[in-house]
Structure 1
Amino acid sequence: MSRLLEITRGLEEAAFAPGDVLMAEGTTTGNLFIMTEGAVEISKKGLPIRTLREPGTLLGEMSLLLEGPHVVTVTAAAPTRCRVTRGGRAYLASHPELGLLVAEVLALRLKGMIGYLADLKEQYADRADSLGVVDEVLDTLAHLQLKR
């Protein structure tokens, strides 16, 4: 069992039927979801991006941490159960082990994205079209800072 599932044992659980929306792009819930079973489809602007099935999958973390709207829509693709935190950032502040795990998940995702973009940069270094802007994207990702 993943560490995320271990430390969230005892949290409120929510059940979702196929087609239920856990979070909609552009809305704010302040909730963090930890999927325990099932499958969810991630979509952006109505376009499917990926289906996730892994127990322990974290959902809603960017919106929660940035206190802004969700950047994707998450829809149950099968009967799905999730543990849910309520209370936004305050919940993470009062549960530092969970906050650290959320940070680790985000760091791993960013590491993967930077690696992918670096590969694209290498493959398309000579391009003058939109693929040629990968260098700018990498630079922006590497230098983003909090504005608070």
Structure 2
Amino acid sequence: MREILAHFGGVPLRALGDKETLLSEGDRTGHLYALAEGRLEVLRGETQVALLEEPGSLIGEMAVLLDSPHTATVRALGEAKVYVAKDGADFLSGRPELAWLVSRLLARRLNAATTYLVDIKRQFAGYGNHLEMVGEVLESLMHQQGISRGRQASDRDGYQD
């Protein structure tokens, strides 16, 4: 994470008070944040899904990369400071080394999620209940590349538009 933090030199800092919200689930900011100091909690609905304490932890990267609303709420636990890159897409585009580090971070997260789902699938194989959907989730993760299934099939078969 310290490698990531090195790319935020000269980026404005924002101070957060205890329980202050940095970003809200469903909002669009286009901002990319990096934790400078303190602790942040990540919430989906009312459920805490992560606790960020390491300087250089990124916030908002998925929304920036997908050009979509934020998928979680992030708020301070105690006083915290974050770097704020106002135009996250331009910020990443102008820093290919940082974009590479973000790619590796996201690949590690995807690998961990996929490994977890595979483990669940193995544990509940043959139970015949709602947990069978884990296979469908895995299939979706493995094939979701931003193009339709029809396009994937035609590309695989060598057809062109």
User: What TM-score range do you get, normalising by the shorter chain?
Assistant: over 0.9
Task: Report the CA distance between 1:147 and its aligned residue.
Answer: 3.9
Counterpart residue type for residue 119 of structure 1? D
**How far, CA to CA, are the matches of 1:53 and 1:125 in structure 2?**
37
The structure that has the greater radius of gyration is 2
**How far, CA to CA, are the matches of 2:39 and 2:115 in structure 1?**
27
SS at match of 2:92: helix
Q: Percent identity?
A: 36
Aligned length: 148
- What are the superposed Cα offsets for residues 57-113 of structure 1, whole Å, 9 maximum, x if unpaired? 111011111111001100111211111111131221122112111111111110111
- What are the superposed Cα offsets for residues 35-54 of structure 1, whole Å, 9 maximum, x if unpaired? 02111111112222232212
TM-score, reference length from structure 1: 0.93
Please name the residue that 1:16 is paired with. 16
Please name the residue that 2:60 is paired with. 60
Which consecutive residues of structure 2, in runs of 5 or more, have no partner in the other structure?
A: 149-161
Give matches, 1:120-131, under 5 Å. 120-131=120-131
Counterpart residue type for residue 136 of structure 2? E
Please name the residue that 1:88 is paired with. 88
SS at match of 2:126: coil
RMSD across aligned positions (CA): 1.6
- Is the contact made by 2:22 and 2:74 (CA closer than 8 Å) also made in structure 1? yes
Deviates most, 98-107 or 47-56: 47-56
**How far, CA to CA, are the matches of 1:16 and 1:147 in structure 2?**
39
